[in-house]
């Protein structure tokens, strides 16, 4: 199950904090891939993603939760320094990186403020909830902006994403350490069902083989202490779930 082309990793948050972080991380990754705005279609995809990100960032205390987690991860790394055969140089590098990203995040302005107050983003956000509301006659300002030189648009987009960099880097460090905190272990579901103890974990990671003639996916429910996994067929009418299905699981 180590072949990346024949396996899929599914992730499921076990608390609201992790749920929010994964959504922010997904939005930031989409923005990086959508950043080259060379058409109306690519432009609207980018603005829809950035509007969703603004909504997520305004729902809770994202900055304070991330700062707490950066401190918690530093404490955990320092505890590893006393363990035998540990790469102390690498741990010191990680601790310094967490410190730097904590300082940068703490100094950053309100996370969504610079993009929320931008005139172009603001006028597009107002129209996104209207079906077909972003036509050129609805948004002549955007229509004009799309006809500016590509270098001008790239510079504007870079400024938007640069303002999100402290958030992106802090989240990258946190999620990276959480994902590496547990290794995958083999499991077997019976009649499409598996349950277990989460042991105060934040994140479930499930690695599953892709079998084209028997496509199944996990439906996961759970919280910080227990979880349940039900495997369902992609083809809800004719698909079949094996009585004994092998997969790998990590509780991070």
Write out pLDDT tens, residues 87-102.
888 999 999 999 999 9
Q: What is the C-alpha separation between 4 and 87, in angstroms, rounded?
A: 27
Which residues, at least 6 apart from 151, have a Cβ–Cβ distance to it below 8 Å?
none
Write out pLDDT tens, residues 132-175.
888 889 999 999 999 999 999 999 999 999 999 999 999 999 99
- Is the pLDDT at 60 greater than 80? The verdict is no
The whole-angstrom distance between residue 68's C-alpha and the CA centroid of its chain comes to 18
Phi, psi of 187 (to 5 degrees): -135, 165
The domains found in the chain, sorted by start residue, are 17-180 (1.10.3900.10), 183-251 (2.60.440.10)
Write out pLDDT tens, residues 90-143.
999 999 999 999 999 999 888 888 898 999 999 999 999 898 888 889 999 999
| Tokens found for residue 96 | 């310094």
pTM: 0.91
Q: What is the C-alpha separation between 56 and 77, in angstroms, rounded?
A: 29
DSSP conformation letters of 73-120: HHHHHHHHTTSTT--HHHHHHHHHHHHHHHHHHHHS--TTHHHHS-HH
């Amino acid at each position: 199950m180590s072949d990346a082309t024949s396996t899929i990793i599914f992730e499921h948050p076990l608390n609201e904090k992790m749920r929010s972080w994964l959504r922010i991380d997904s939005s930031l990754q989409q923005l990086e891939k959508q950043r080259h705005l060379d058409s109306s279609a690519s432009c609207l995809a980018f603005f829809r993603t950035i509007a969703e990100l603004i909504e997520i960032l305004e729902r809770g205390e994202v900055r304070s939760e991330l700062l707490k987690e950066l401190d918690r991860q530093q404490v955990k790394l320092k505890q590893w320094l006393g363990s035998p055969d540990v790469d102390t140089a690498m741990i010191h590098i990680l601790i310094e990186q967490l410190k730097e990203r904590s300082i940068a995040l703490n100094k950053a302005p309100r996370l969504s403020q610079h993009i929320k107050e931008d005139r172009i983003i603001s006028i597009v956000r107002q129209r996104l909830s209207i079906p077909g509301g972003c036509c050129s006659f609805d948004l002549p300002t955007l229509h004009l902006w799309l006809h500016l030189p590509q270098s001008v648009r790239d510079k504007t987009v870079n400024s938007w994403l640069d303002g999100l960099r402290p958030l992106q880097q802090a989240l990258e460090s946190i999620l990276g350490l959480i994902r590496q905190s547990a290794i995958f272990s083999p499991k077997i579901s019976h009649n499409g069902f598996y349950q277990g103890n989460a042991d105060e974990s934040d994140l479930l990671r499930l690695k599953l083989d892709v079998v084209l003639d028997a496509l199944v996916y996990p439906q996961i429910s759970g919280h910080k202490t227990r979880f349940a996994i039900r495997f369902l067929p992609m083809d809800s009418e004719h698909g079949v779930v094996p009585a004994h299905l092998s997969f790998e699981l990590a509780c991070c």
